[in-house]
Amino acid sequence: MEQNLIDLSRAQFALTAMFHWLFVPLTLGLGLIVAIMETLYVKGKGEKWKTTTRFWMKIFGINFAVGVASGIILEFEFGTNWAKYSWFVGDIFGVPLAIEGIVAFFMEATFIAVMFFGWDKVSKRFHLAATWLTLLGATLSAVWILVANAWMQNPVGIGEFNVDLVRTELSSFWAVISPLAIVKFLHTVISSWMLAAAVVIGIASFYLLKGREKTFALDSIRVAVKVGIAGVIAAIITGDMSGNLVAKTQPMKLAAMESLYDGHNNAGLVALAVLNPDKKFDDGKDPFLFNVSFPNMLSFLATRNSNGFVPGINDVLKGGYIGPDGAQTISVNEKIALGKDASLALKEYKNAATEDEKTKARNAFRKNEKYFGYSFFKSAEETIPPVGLVFYAFRIMVALGFLFLILFITVEYFLHKKRFEKARLLQKICLLSIPFAYIASQAGWIVAEVGRQPWAIQDILPVKAAVTNIGATSVILTFCFFLVLFSVLLVAEVNIIRKAIRTGPEENPQNTNQ
Amino acid sequence: MEYSFLQHYWWFLLSLLGGILVFLLFVQGGQSLIYSLGKEESDFAQLINSLKRKWELTFTLLVTFGASFFASFPLFYTISFGGAYWVWMAILFCFVLQAVSYEFISRRGNILGNGVYKAFLYLNGVLGPILLGTAVSTLFFGAHFSYSPEGMTNMDNPVFSVWEGAFFGLEAVWNTPFNVILGIAIFFLARTLGALYFINNINDESIRIRARRQVAINAVLFLLPFLTYLIYVLFFHPVWRFENGELNQDAAIYLDNIISNPWTLVILLSGLVCVLHGIYVGARRSNLNGIWTAGIGVILTVTSLLFIAGVDGTVYYRSLSSPDLSLTIFNSSSSRFTLTAMSIVSLFIPAVLAYIWYVWRKMDVK
């Protein structure tokens, strides 16, 4: 398989996914904040909450459209750029996507029309219900897409490999909704609340800095900061749970997140470090030029025991340690050899002339079928993800998460003391923090997706065996096209939001067709 | 449940989703009419605001249709999406433009200007139905592809499917004129439905008068290619079917399928009558409800036509280069377990349709 094509297909999907993820977390988080604000309005807390709701709903709407547009591109790309993936795991992977469409998208699409255009057409309570149902639809959509993604990280619920069709098949629907899927959903959605809170607090701070819309700004911050604090705390808890599950299901990813080459007991969690750029996995050099660690914390995160053994990259490659299932692990080279045996047995099965030959070949395949995905590798080294990117992305995500917690608590404290209105430095920090919320959110996905490389489906299908066999030129053209399209859309989106903010919440919404 | 029943059940559901999708293309049809029906800025605003409340349903149905096809018949998804790359990318491009245009068109600071977004909507309105119609026609006329599961055992260069058209799907335009004929028919049908929708949804007599004229013109332009296509496909087009592992060709297979599933004949004829009735009442001055009659007719007609194209081992996606590898609902479906699990989920569909209907009515009442 042409490496150029693999990298281009990867780049196109990454571009689309990262662009899409600029809009989704704000939709999920702002949807909650808007629903709370409208609830306050309907509960009789004052007409001002209607104005506040409508302003943030306008921002929600501008953001929502591009999220919808980029979402459809991702779904199509599973087929256009990852056709072998679509066949190999389509029997399982397609299910959550279809359920997402049937259960979630229609709820979102139907009620969002009421949310935007129904103010004068339906009762207050019906409108409020529509707002909450739009949020529910968006969140359900996230449930199913994150179930699908969690399955790529931890493929479960698979029956016997179908040797006639050469594909994996579903054996348990409920198994697919695994603990990892649940934690991934919670972590992703809840961290989106943090992002939305940062955006709302940042924009509201802009008004305070300008001396405008003070009541609106302070009301908005009061709601958003509570959502933000709850979001960050819950994201930290679910992040810890997620790390523990990653240790069990994707030890190579955890090792990359920590740049841990040689595993040991009492492993520390790296707090701050500079990686050694010359480090190779088997050269025995120190992976860090400088590092500060929290003692024993990685062991505790991975095993819930501060003395526990955490395997490093070399341990995963060489095997020989006791895995979370209590069995001794084997080396990646052995897995590659067994995978090639499985592949040859499958080929023999397909070429078998008699039933006896078929049975023999099938049995030979069954012995090693779980290593079939490894047959596509030539060396164990290929199974190491890009350590530097994963390592730094993880630190950025975690550090920003904690910084946002400190920021939100500080904002809440100043609000409580009725000093926020005059705290111009804090307001400036809030405004400038907006892009960092997006960086944290994107970094999280880099850890999840780059950390899984080179696998499309962990231990089952590598990216290089999943890609569509089309000319690289076609992918270059569509990549360039998407790059231009996304850039234009992003500039337009940011400019529209900028204008909407400048106009402020007092504008007659009829003028903007809302 | 029997595997065969599940495969037929999902083929029926996809046919139904396809039928509803074609009906909801009234949004695209409406967009393609904005320059014909809108004479002043206030007209454009009314036309676009009317469609703005419905476009998400078409868009969502397209996504759901794709996802359901992926989940129930992944072999088609793999071959068609992976092979006809440029066709699907073109469709994607059209629909992405639509999604952003509705939100951005009336916003200050939208960079490109309102006229450009209006043009994007027009572009989506014209190209969307033509491309979708052309793509759907390949279900009847096939494409040059082959596939081989054992290709996945090639450790150095795993290959599953091979698309033999050098233009990655664009060759559908010149392989046979019928693909484009169906695209054109769907385009004019969408315009007819779009005009009927405006008559129902916009309370402005001058727009209604212009829309009624468009109903009459576009209905004629729709019926000519559609009837040509329908007659050719039903009576003259050699259809393929696997029987006892052998591939048979016969121009009467679709008719056989209709006869062995007589309800399809009933809904096909009812659908055609409803479409014609809807067009007739829509073109008359006093009636506002042509969209509903015609819409139901479109759903019934398309559902029956798509269903008979795949029932009982009939080839629904023929391989012109390796006929034995042509797709049927039997050789291209998901496993029995997956189809069963999804069938349970499909029980939500009536509830979904019910709340869509309820909200639609609620929003259009005042």
| A237–chain B Cβ distance below 8 A for any pair | no
Per-residue confidence (pLDDT) for residue B249, from 0 to 100: 87
- Whether B184 is in a domain gets the answer yes
Q: Which of A91, A164, A498 sits opposite B109 (nearest CB)?
A: A498
How far is A201 from chain B, CA to nearest CA, in Å?
23
CB-facing half-sphere around the CA of B187: CA atoms within 13 A: 21
pLDDT at A473 over 50: yes
Inter-chain residue contact B110 with A495, CB threshold 8 Å: yes
Enter the tokens of residue B185. Answer: 């028919």
How far is B188 from chain A, CA to nearest CA, in Å?
25
The pairs formed by A417-422 with CB atoms below 8 angstroms and a separation of 24 or more are A420/A208, A420/A218, A420/A221, A421/A208, A421/A214, A421/A218
pTM of the model: 0.92
Compute the average pLDDT of residues B97-109: 90
Helix (H) / strand (E) element for A292: namely: strand A288-294
Q: What percent of chain A has pLDDT over 90?
A: 86
Instruction: State the residue for tokens 């996504």.
Output: B63
Q: Which of B82, B356, B366 sits opposite A468 (nearest CB)?
A: B82
Per-residue confidence (pLDDT) for residue B366, from 0 to 100: 54
Inter-chain residue contact B72 with A94, CB threshold 8 Å: yes
Chain B contact probe: residue of A63, A86, A116 with most B CBs at under 10 A: A86
pLDDT at A177 over 50: yes
| A72–chain B Cβ distance below 8 A for any pair | yes
Are A411 and A162 in contact by the 8 Å Cβ rule? The answer is no
Inter-chain residue contact A1 with B156, CB threshold 8 Å: yes
Beta bridge partners of A270: A293
Instruction: Report the first-to-last Cα separation within chain A, whole angstroms.
Output: 50
Q: Which of A73, A118, A340 sits opposite B155 (nearest CB)?
A: A340
* Strand B145-147 to B161-163 pairing: antiparallel
> For residues A137 and A102, what is the distance between their CA atoms, to the nearest angstrom?
10
Enter the tokens of residue B35. Answer: 């320059």
Inter-chain residue contact B71 with A350, CB threshold 8 Å: no
| A74–chain B Cβ distance below 8 A for any pair | no
How far is A152 from chain B, CA to nearest CA, in Å?
16
Chain A residues 269-328 with CB within 8 Å of chain B:
none
Structural domain containing residue B121: 3-147+159-337
Inter-chain residue contact B362 with A165, CB threshold 8 Å: no
Question: pLDDT averaged over chain A?
Answer: 93
Reference A9, options A73, A74, A81; nearest CA is A81
Reference A505, options A138, A172, A212, A94; nearest CA is A212
Neighbours of B55 (CB within 10 A): 25
- Whether B199 is in a domain gets the answer yes
Compute the average pLDDT of residues A443-455: 96
A452 — phi, psi (to 5°)? -85, -15
- Whether B153 is in a domain gets the answer no
Q: Which of A83, A121, A488 sits opposite B363 (nearest CB)?
A: A121
Chain A contact probe: residue of B17, B87, B152 with most A CBs at under 10 A: B152
- Whether B324 is in a domain gets the answer yes
Residues in B closer than 8 angstroms to A84, CB to CB, are 78, 82, 152, 158, 160
Chain B contact probe: residue of A22, A66, A110, A512 with most B CBs at under 10 A: A110
Counting beta carbons within 10 angstroms of the beta carbon of residue A406, is it exposed (0 to 12), middle (13 to 18) or buried (19 or more)? exposed
Chain B contact probe: residue of A22, A63, A72, A125 with most B CBs at under 10 A: A72
> For residues A317 and A335, what is the distance between their CA atoms, to the nearest angstrom?
10
pLDDT band at A1 (very low <50, low <70, confident <90, very high): low
pLDDT at A510 over 70: no
pLDDT at A514 over 50: no
Per residue in B139-196, pLDDT (tens digit) is 999 999 999 998 998 888 889 999 988 889 899 999 899 999 999 999 999 999 999 9
Enter the tokens of residue A142. Answer: 């996230």
pLDDT at B103 over 50: yes
Neighbours of B325 (CB within 10 A): 18
Compute the average pLDDT of residues A318-327: 91
Residue B57 Cα distances to A74, A106, A115, B12, angstroms = 19, 7, 15, 20
Compute the average pLDDT of residues B51-63: 89
Residues in A closer than 8 angstroms to B160, CB to CB, are 83-84, 87-88, 469
Chain B contact probe: residue of A87, A338, A514 with most B CBs at under 10 A: A87
Q: What percent of chain A has pLDDT over 70?
A: 98
Q: What single letter denotes the amino acid at residue A216?
A: F
Per-residue confidence (pLDDT) for residue A511, from 0 to 100: 41
pLDDT band at A302 (very low <50, low <70, confident <90, very high): very high
pLDDT at A512 over 80: no
Per residue in A377-406, pLDDT (tens digit) is 999 999 999 999 999 999 999 999 999 999
Compute the average pLDDT of residues A360-376: 95
Chain A residues 331-350 with CB within 8 Å of chain B:
340, 343-344, 346-347, 350
Inter-chain residue contact A75 with B66, CB threshold 8 Å: yes
Per-residue confidence (pLDDT) for residue A361, from 0 to 100: 95
Per residue in A73-120, pLDDT (tens digit) is 998 999 999 999 999 999 998 888 888 888 898 898 889 989 988 888
- Whether B154 is in a domain gets the answer no
Inter-chain residue contact A95 with B335, CB threshold 8 Å: no
| A160–chain B Cβ distance below 8 A for any pair | no
Chain B contact probe: residue of A6, A19, A63, A76 with most B CBs at under 10 A: A76
ipTM here: 0.89
Residues in A closer than 8 angstroms to B334, CB to CB, are 90-91, 94, 169-170
- Whether B91 is in a domain gets the answer yes
| A94–chain B Cβ distance below 8 A for any pair | yes
Are A10 and A385 in contact by the 8 Å Cβ rule? The answer is no
Compute the average pLDDT of residues B307-334: 93
Evaluate the omega torsion of the peptide bond into residue B262 and state whether it is cis, within 30 degrees of 0.
Answer: no
pLDDT at B266 over 70: yes
Compute the average pLDDT of residues B42-71: 90
Per residue in A50-65, pLDDT (tens digit) is 999 999 999 999 999 8
- Whether B347 is in a domain gets the answer no
How far is B285 from chain A, CA to nearest CA, in Å?
28
Asked which of A413-427, B210-224, B237-251, B262-276 is least confident by mean pLDDT, the reply is B237-251
Q: Which of A65, A120, A469 sits opposite B103 (nearest CB)?
A: A65
- For A77, the closest chain B residue by CA position comes to B81
- Whether B126 is in a domain gets the answer yes
Chain A residues 361-380 with CB within 8 Å of chain B:
375-376
Chain A residues 445-474 with CB within 8 Å of chain B:
465, 468-470, 474
How far is B260 from chain A, CA to nearest CA, in Å?
30
> For residues A441 and A235, what is the distance between their CA atoms, to the nearest angstrom?
11
Per residue in B5-45, pLDDT (tens digit) is 999 999 999 999 999 999 999 999 999 999 999 988 899 99
- Structural domains in chain B (count): 1
> For residues A174 and B344, what is the distance between their CA atoms, to the nearest angstrom?
13
Per-residue confidence (pLDDT) for residue B224, from 0 to 100: 96
Reference A394, options A337, A351, A436, A442; nearest CA is A442
Q: Which of B59, B82, B161 sits opposite A80 (nearest CB)?
A: B82
Residue A372 neighbours by CB under 8 Å, 6+ apart:
A161, A339, A342, A343, A346, A365, A460
